């Protein structure tokens, strides 16, 4: 499992774009994790699934609400990672009004999630292999803090915790 001081793994996430520009076409676009995090401070949070109750009611909205504070604390970008496809993440981004605030990144094959060692097996519950709920502050591609939730919990990966760590 990834730990503080480790570099993010080499992986490609997918991001759905509603508008063309900045080298991105409409639709899913690849995001090279190593290149996209280089030279930046990233508040990354991951969760089990788009449109799920806690994720939609608390986790994503918290980061959207705290974006100004996170930016003021030196965070360049906020990433939400979930084992869903880019089309679902794009629809969820529109639903949660994350444009310009939180990058909604799809880990469709769970390659990133497996590489960081934070999978959650929900086989038998109709969801298959997913991501555990966690957050990490990443500086220039290296994990500066890591907050992993216990099973069924939402206590340490929230935006308020991340904001306090970014300020620290």
Give CA–CA dist 119/95, Å, rounded. Answer: 25
Give CA–CA dist 25/67, Å, rounded. Answer: 25
* In contact, 34 and 8? CB cutoff 8 Å: yes
The helix/strand/coil state of 150 is coil
Q: What pTM, to 2 d.p., does this model score?
A: 0.94
Give the pLDDT of the chain (168 residues) as one tens digit per residue: 999 999 999 999 999 987 666 666 677 999 999 999 999 999 999 999 999 888 899 999 999 999 999 999 999 999 999 999 999 999 999 999 999 999 999 999 999 999 999 999 888 887 878 999 999 999 999 999 999 999 889 999 999 999 999 998
Active-site residues, by number, are 55
């Amino acid at each position: 499992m990834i730990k503080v001081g480790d570099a993010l793994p080499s992986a490609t996430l997918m991001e759905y774009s509603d508008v063309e520009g900045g080298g991105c076409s409409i639709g899913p676009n690849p995001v090279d994790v190593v290149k996209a995090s280089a030279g930046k401070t990233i508040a990354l949070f991951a969760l089990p699934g788009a449109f799920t109750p806690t994720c939609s009611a608390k986790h994503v909205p918290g980061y959207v609400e705290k974006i100004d504070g996170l930016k003021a604390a030196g965070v360049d970008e906020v990433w939400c990672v979930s084992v869903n496809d880019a089309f679902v993440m794009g629809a969820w981004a529109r639903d949660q009004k994350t444009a310009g605030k939180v990058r909604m990144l799809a880990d469709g094959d769970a390659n990133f999630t497996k590489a960081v060692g934070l999978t959650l097996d929900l086989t038998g519950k109709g969801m298959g292999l997913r991501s555990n709920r966690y957050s990490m502050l990443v500086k220039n591609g290296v994990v500066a803090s890591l907050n992993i939730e216990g099973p069924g919990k939402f206590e340490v990966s929230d935006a308020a915790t991340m904001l306090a760590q970014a300020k620290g």
